[in-house]
Homo-oligomer: A and B are copies of this chain.
């Protein structure tokens, strides 16, 4: 690929794939090679960066802020946001901090950076400056380097996180963490299956083992950093259980590298009960599997994400999903919510529209007043269902790896035991097909080769059949395609006037 930096092999093929922590000396060599891949890498020095992190006040450190949010039962807000130039990014982050009252301020990288096409990213910066508008869908963090990051961090009064949907995170993570970001989103399984076409699961896992190991290295220098897993996957009708399977596996991989502050992200199903059940099941299952592996000290806050599928173009209609997104996160007991804007269906939001989405969400959180659904029969039913699905598949994955999470995962994807809906990746079977049922919950229409227990699948099927019957459509894969569009439809189709 033109502009791709791949001259040096950053993974010396010395060690076979495993979930073991990367040994210190090997990691040092890997880091040296990695940092040599682009000029700005030279500026990175973990000792110096750790010292810098120690100068940051607690309210600008995401690990501390998240621990406090969990202790106080708060739900924090966080948008996405990135523009091509430092000036635009500075203004954006300040607007999100001040007008949006974001509790966590993001820096989304552009898609060239995500694919390590730094030459193209550079052209994007230049074009953006020439035309006076952002031609990139994010901030080219590697091109700008460590000191630009520190300038961005200096401009806000909140902790900052790097959002860089990629299976090639090694330079953005190095520069982001050294630049004063206290959180980094991404994981080997989740991002490889949803953001790449040719990258192998093994490669993705190895790349994120590097990032996790890097966070652990900072920990060794006395600096706690936040790592986070994007369990929203392809954002497209993801059943909670499939998201949580990836959460558990990526989490175990991170824990093995030494990470102790690891967030899990779940895209909303847009169902009050199912989303609350998902958040609770995720939290409990993560700790359950950590305990099985002997970890009792890993902090695992759960983040809920505003609807990740296709949005309606009508801004009034979209506003409902924004407010509801705050409600779902708060009622579900998520520690933070990642927000969208009324521009979602069309394009990257202006800083103002982004800030409005944050405020609508924040107000929705305020009026949720800590309501919880525990004890509601339908909620307990969903929690149980999700747990049965996750345990069946994850246990099978672990078996396939003879206890090694990395090996098991690679084999499980090859066998279709792990599968992801609507994946662009050629290594993922993507035979599993979910759809929304008659009660509004996301169910599995076709499990492909995933070992979901038969009695569980009968529940899914029954609920989907009811929908097909109610709408007089065949019970087939069209249900899955319809579900992809569904919420982007105009209200005249979603909820037509009543014929009395």
Given contacts A61-B500, A375-B376, contact A316 B359 (CB under 8 A): yes
Pick from B319, B357, B373, B498: contact of A65, CB under 8 Å: B498
Scan A299-336; emit 1 where CB is below 8 A from any B CB, else 0. 00000000000001011111111111011000100000
A329 to chain B, nearest CB (A): 13
Binds B, one of A69-77, A254-262, A290-298: A69-77
Cβ–Cβ contact A497 & B158, under 8 A: yes
Cβ–Cβ contact B317 & A363, under 8 A: yes
Binds B, one of A11-19, A187-195, A266-274, A395-403: A266-274
Pick from B373, B491, B500: contact of A363, CB under 8 Å: B491
Contact sample, A vs B, 8 pairs, CB 8 Å cutoff? A59-B497, A101-B491, A316-B360, A319-B363, A323-B364, A324-B324, A366-B494, A371-B378
Copies of chain A in the complex = 2
Cβ–Cβ contact A69 & B319, under 8 A: no
Q: A456 interface residue, CB < 8 Å from B? A: no
A369 to chain B, nearest CB (A): 3
Q: Which of A198-241 contact B (CB under 8 A)?
A: none
Closest to A75 in B: B495
Chain A interface size range:
35 or more
Q: A468 interface residue, CB < 8 Å from B? A: no
Cβ–Cβ contact B359 & A314, under 8 A: yes
Scan A49-86; emit 1 where CB is below 8 A from any B CB, else 0. 00000000011010011001100101010000000000
Distance of A381 Cα from B34 Cα, bound (Å): 60
Given contacts A103-B498, A158-B497, A498-B65, contact A271 B369 (CB under 8 A): yes
Q: A2 interface residue, CB < 8 Å from B? A: no
Given contacts A360-B316, A491-B362, A495-B366, contact A500 B324 (CB under 8 A): no
Other A-B pairs beyond A59-B497, A316-B360, 15, CB < 8 Å? A65-B500, A68-B500, A103-B497, A272-B368, A272-B369, A314-B359, A316-B356, A316-B359, A319-B322, A320-B360, A324-B324, A363-B495, A369-B439, A371-B378, A375-B378
Q: Which residues of B contact A369 (CB under 8 A)?
A: 271-272, 439-441
Q: Which residues of B contact A58 (CB under 8 A)?
A: 500
Distance of A496 Cα from B438 Cα, bound (Å): 40
Cβ–Cβ contact B324 & A319, under 8 A: no
Scan A482-500; emit 1 where CB is below 8 A from any B CB, else 0. 0000010001101101111
Q: Which residues of B contact A378 (CB under 8 A)?
A: 371, 375
Scan A160-182; emit 1 where CB is below 8 A from any B CB, else 0. 00000000000000000000000
